[in-house]
Every structure is written in C-alpha cells, then in structure tokens.
Amino acid sequence: MLTCDHPLSPDRYNDRVEDHLRVTEFYHASQIGVVQNQKALVNALIERWHPNTHTFHLPIGECAVTLEDVALILGLPTDGLPVTGMTMSSFSALEAECLLQFGVAPRKSECRGCCIKLTWLRELKENMQLTNELSIQRYVKCHIMLLIRTILFGDKSGAGASRYNCKEIDGPITLLLGWAWIRLPYLSPLPRELHSFPLANRWRNWERGDRKYRYLNLAHFRKAFDELQEGQFLWVAYAVDRVDPNIIPPEIYM
C-alpha cells in the first residue's frame, strides 16, 4: 500500500535562468505546482495494472498513459530523441560525474549508495552564484535533477506527488493522477485552474477546495472501477471542448 503525507512547495528557480530552461524544454514542467496525492485512487489503479501488457485492465477495456498524456499533463515535449545515460556503479564514478557536471562532488555521507541525496543537490543550487554562463548551466542542471526527482517522480517512501522534501525516486505520481482525473473526470477532485498549463496544474492545491475528496477510501475507488460504464472513460480526452487549445504552447505539439 502507498502512503501519503502533506506536500510542501516545489523547487523554484532564479528568473535569470528562464531562457536556459526553455532551451532544455523543462520550462513548462517547472511551472507545475503542488499536486496532492490521493493514495486510495493510486492504490486502486495499481490493482488494475498488468505488468505483462503495461496496461490498466478496466471493465470497458485496456488503457494506458500515452505520450500525448505526458506532453499535456507534464508539459514535456515528446517529439525527439530519448535521454539515456550510464548507471553509476561506484561512488568514484558518481564523484567524477558530479565534478564534471557541477564542479563539486558530494561526500559519501551525502549519498545513499550510488544515489545523491536531494539535500545535497538543493543546498548546491541555493548556494550557486550565477556569475557566468558556466555557473548558470550548472544551476540549470541542478534544477532539472531536482525537478525530475520531485515533480516528475514521486517519493518511494511517501509517494506524495510534487513533494519538495521527497527523498527517493519512484514512479511519476503526478502524471498518473493527472491521467486518471482527465480520463475519468467523475473520479477527480474539483479542478481549481481549468485554463492552466501544464494540465497537472488544474489540480494544483486541490485539497484546499475539495477536502472531502482526500478522505475517499480504497473501497470507494474499487467500486467505481468495478462499475465503470462506457462513456465514463474518455478515450478522446483533449478535444477542443475539453481543453482550450490556446493554452497549449506550440512547441508541445511540434
């Protein structure tokens, strides 16, 4: 079972690096605010997940998160080459890579195995002086690392979406919640910002306006999935009558 605690503010960035974030195509994702988890909904979805087919099995058929969902919910362009890299197998390799990317390296106490603790990355970013192009590039890299491990990926120990103080990387909880709420709108909390992009921000701080939704339990969502009818799941979720095309930046659909 997943657990959830209260999220805090996500990492922000110095306005001077906005153009650099746009070049990296992480600018829109950096605008995602706090999206409170609904652990019972996530657990109900997990019960419907079949790893062999990588799909959710529902009474109306099989479904999955698509690249279109990723682009619109998280604001990440999906037309391009995949980002890959080596898996660090030793502290010395991690240390060398950090020196290359950031100019400094963490101590062993600031790592967990071959993973850097977020506290080290956050302190590094907060103390960087943006004096030249190199320091700005290092700052942006640090911000993107924090973005990936907080906004884009939840906390394995708490699974709180968009959590400022998360400590471990796990699954894209914000994406999963946004997908469920867009595809199954009758199961979503009250949206607060219908004309905001990325679409995850529709439910930024949703718990402030829909406190009852937080306390819906696993049995509620299990029953909803068991009784799901045709027409309740939106196979075409981003039509103009559901999403204002004017809020979608052109580079997202290039």
What residue ranges do the domains of the chain occupy?
A: 22-80+144-252
With 0-12 CB in 10 A as exposed, 13-18 as middle and 19+ as buried, what is 187? buried
Asked if residue 160 has pLDDT above 50, the reply is no
User: Pick from 140, 84, 139, 148: which is nearest to 116 by CA?
Assistant: 148
pLDDT-wise least confident of 55-59, 79-83, 95-99, 226-230: 79-83
Phi/psi at 57 (5° precision): -100, 110
pLDDT digits (tens, 9 = 90+) for 180-209: 999 999 999 999 888 999 999 999 999 998
**Cα 237 to Cα 231: distance, rounded to the nearest angstrom:** 11
- C-alpha dist (Å) from residue 199 to 2, 80, 94, 102, 176: 24, 21, 35, 32, 12
Q: Are strands 61-63 and 111-112 parallel, antiparallel or unpaired?
A: unpaired
Instruction: Answer for the pair 54, 163: CB distance below 8 angstroms, yes or no.
Output: no
CA 78 to CA 232: how far, in whole Å?
A: 27
Distance CA 124, CA 118 (A): 10
HSE (side-chain half, CA atoms, 13 Å) at 76: 23
CA neighbor of 75 nearest in space, from 147, 168, 10: 147
pLDDT in the model for residue 114: 77
Residue type at position 174:
T
- Find the mean pLDDT for residues 30-42: 93
Q: Per-residue pLDDT tens for 220-233?
A: 999 999 999 999 99
C-alpha to C-alpha distance for 68 and 79, rounded to whole angstroms: 10
Strands of the sheet with 55-58, listed across from one edge: 49-50, 55-58, 61-63
How many CB atoms sit inside 10 A of residue 63's CB? Answer: 16
CA distance 69 to 199: 9
Q: Examine the pLDDT at 81 and tell me if it is beyond 90.
A: no
Residue position matching structure tokens 């600031």? 110
Q: What is the pLDDT of residue 243?
A: 93
Query: Is pLDDT at 179 greater than 80 in this prediction?
Result: yes
